[in-house]
């Protein structure tokens, strides 16, 4: 999962959130769930972990379509900035909430 804390620090902003459906369509030109990596978005940020896979599945322009593309191609074409934005183990545990022991 993406760490909002790390992303806010990188962007030097107070808050970040996911775009709603209307914003996704307005800024990318595609419906939420179908946004391909080749669109009108001006800035792309990706975690370097993405490079561990030779290919990735991305939106195909419609919520019912996916494309398998080479990861390097997506990074190159989108001019993605590679930044450590994944949650650390401690953050991930906090996001999962308290654990209940059933002994």
Task: Please tell me the total count of domains within the chain.
Answer: 1
What is the pLDDT at residue 95?
62
Looking at the DSSP bridge assignments, the partners of residue 86 are: 2
φ/ψ of 62, rounded to 5, equals -150, 150
- d(CA 41, CA 38) in angstroms, rounded, equals 8
Band (89; pLDDT cuts 50, 70, 90)? confident
Instruction: List the domain range (segments joined by +) for residue 62.
Output: 4-91
Does 51 fall in a domain? yes
Task: Give the CATH number, domain containing residue 24.
Answer: 3.90.960.10
The alpha carbon of residue 27 and the mean position of all alpha carbons in its chain are separated, in whole angstroms, by 15
Q: What is the pTM of this model?
A: 0.75
pLDDT digits (tens, 9 = 90+) for 46-77: 999 999 999 999 999 999 999 999 999 999 99
76 part of a folded domain: yes
SS3 70: strand
Residue located via tokens 């990735």: 56
Classify residue 60: in a domain, yes or no: yes
Do the domain assignments include residue 99? no
Q: Does the residue 39 lie in any domain?
A: yes
Q: Is 24 within a domain?
A: yes
Within the chain, strands assigned E span 45-46, 55-59, 66-70, 81-82
Is residue 63 assigned to a domain? yes
**Residue 53 near residue 74 (C-beta atoms within 8 A):** no
């Amino acid at each position: 999962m993406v760490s909002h804390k790390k992303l806010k620090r990188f962007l030097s902003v107070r808050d970040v959130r996911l775009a709603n459906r209307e914003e996704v369509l307005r800024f990318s030109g595609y419906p939420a769930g179908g946004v391909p990596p080749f669109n009108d978005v001006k800035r792309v940020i990706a975690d370097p972990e993405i490079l561990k896979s030779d290919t990735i599945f991305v939106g195909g322009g419609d919520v019912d379509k996916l494309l398998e593309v080479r990861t390097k191609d997506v990074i190159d074409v989108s001019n993605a900035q590679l930044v450590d934005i994944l949650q650390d183990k401690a953050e991930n545990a906090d996001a999962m909430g308290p654990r209940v022991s059933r002994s």
